[in-house]
Chain A
């Protein structure tokens, strides 16, 4: 099992590095400006994204930070491979809640534009996409041909409609749900067929389920109450773990940075917050609002305790977000070395370190899922304070 996983990983890592290297050759003359030198990036969107500033300099430099940030951010389309017409980008549905109600169209209608150059008109409203955000377009284009107006910090000042689009991350999440169900439904139904004996995929899933139950839920929540929270903890564990792993696979339709997205970690942490506080008993609230300290300390203690309610899930949110994003940033940075040095000879170093990082990330993927689940269970357990302790 272990050897197979290693060989798969080695293959994927090489693949991950090979893709941008091949892109280098294709890229040489792909530009809309005569003075461009070769722009190298593994994600062609960055090319569009970086045009505004690069045009002014007259030479498009490889901007590693921009490429990396672009990768770990969400996107309205899913770039699979290649460049422009030769490449393939999966168009994703854009769903907007505008002043005139629901507006839906495919992201391909922007024609890969990400600099507010291309205006899409729907329900007599005009939209532009700028840095992967949808804005109501300005009446006229500015000096760069973009239908947005900027503030002093070069941020668009246009109003944004509420964006409920199926973005790359939502797409990836749905994919992960399909994968989870493909694994879990056979696992769950195999028991009936085999008379309660774990066979096949259930033999792999059951130890993990038991791990969550016996090492996470039971000791932290307690024997009487743990069963109620087990479905949430199990779902959160497998959801985070699988999405962490999906983020590590560098090829389409994987590679998204879902669990490294603050919106996702926020949502998951918020669920833990809700479960923690709605399952809390009297002792917990008493501990917060009537702590066993002298009365004059109440003005200090109560705010501290109230902050504590929020800080615990806040830490959950930040921890998962930071760990997974950092992993993506490191791996992309190491890959970017090749393009920063503009030398193929640096690639063995990149390959070695990316491989090394991928192994660590493989561990981190499971570890962060475990930590998130463990701390959720711990917070739920802590919210049930026994009265006699005071």
Chain B
């Protein structure tokens, strides 16, 4: 029966000692240990979350890069196309201009040739006229060397006028 009868003294000391132990341990052991553990857990959670965030960020960055690359490619294609178009246009224009110019040059040449021809013709005409006059002079001089010949001409001319 003694075995199962709690002794008042031991109950008293157990209560006292246990409560003191509880108070001391709470301050010196449980609080620092649990605080450290909780801090560590918070750190781990944060680290995991930031790693997750970094991963997401990287994915976003990658997507961004892809988008930029795609856009750049499109832009490049556009630029190339524009350049090609421009080249075509320039070439076409150049061709047109050159054709025009050559035509104009041709026309100018024609005109120049024509002018020169005309000038030559005129000169020739003048020369021929001069020559003709000179010849006529010479012929006339020859014809009218003698008095009779001069007379006969005047006669003929008078005759002609008289006929009219």
Contact = CB atoms under 8 A, between A and B. Distances in A.
Contacts of A206: 33, 37
- Secondary structure dominating the interface of A: helix
Nearest to B40: A196
A170 B9 contact: yes
Contacts of B28: 181, 184-185, 188-189
Contact of A184 (B3, B5, B13, B29): B29
Contacts of B134: none
Which bucket holds chain B's interface residue count? Answer: 20 to 34
Contacts of B29: 184-185, 187-188, 205, 234
A231 interface: yes
B161 interface: no
A198 B22 CA distance: 22
Given A72-B3, A185-B28, A173 B36 contact: no
B4 A262 contact: yes
A301 B104 CA distance: 124
Contacts of A163: 7-9
B28 to A, nearest CB: 5
B34 interface: yes
Given A74-B10, A170-B9, A173-B17, A181 B24 contact: yes
A267 interface: yes
Interface string B20-50: 1110111011111111110110000000000
A266 B13 contact: no
Contact of B25 (A162, A198, A234): A234
Contacts of B24: 181
Given A196-B39, A231-B25, A209 B13 contact: no
A202 B137 CA distance: 149
A169 B30 contact: no
A18 interface: no
Contact of B14 (A131, A188, A198, A268): A268
A373 interface: no
Contact of A268 (B18, B33, B36, B39): B18
B21 A239 contact: yes
Contacts of A198: 36
Interface string A180-196: 11001101110110001
A187 B22 CA distance: 16
B96 to A, nearest CB: 82
Interface string A244-272: 00000000000000000111101110010
B34 A267 contact: no
Contacts of A165: 9
B32 A166 contact: no
B34 A230 contact: yes
Interface in A198-220: 198, 202, 205-206, 209-210, 213
Question: Which of B5, B14, B15 has the most chain A CB within a 10 Å cutoff?
Answer: B14
A325 interface: yes
Contacts of A232: 22
Given A196-B40, A267-B14, A188 B33 contact: yes
Contact of A191 (B7, B13, B33): B33
A184 B15 CA distance: 20
B145 interface: no
Given A210-B37, A239-B18, A263 B6 contact: yes
B2 interface: yes
Nearest to A267: B14
Interface in A46-69: 69
A170 B15 CA distance: 11
B9 A164 contact: yes
Contact of B34 (A74, A131, A213, A266): A213
B91 to A, nearest CB: 75
B3 A209 contact: no
Contacts of B11: 263, 266-267
Interface of A: 69, 72-74, 95, 131, 162-167, 169-170, 173-174, 177, 180-181, 184-185, 187-189, 191-192, 196, 198, 202, 205-206, 209-210, 213, 230-232, 234-235, 238-239, 261-264, 266-268, 271, 321, 325
19 contacts: A69-B3, A72-B3, A74-B7, A95-B9, A163-B8, A166-B13, A167-B7, A170-B9, A185-B28, A187-B33, A189-B32, A191-B33, A198-B36, A231-B25, A234-B25, A239-B21, A262-B5, A267-B6, A267-B10
Given A131-B2, A163-B7, A231-B22, 9 more contacts: A73-B2, A170-B13, A170-B17, A188-B33, A205-B29, A230-B34, A235-B25, A262-B4, A262-B5
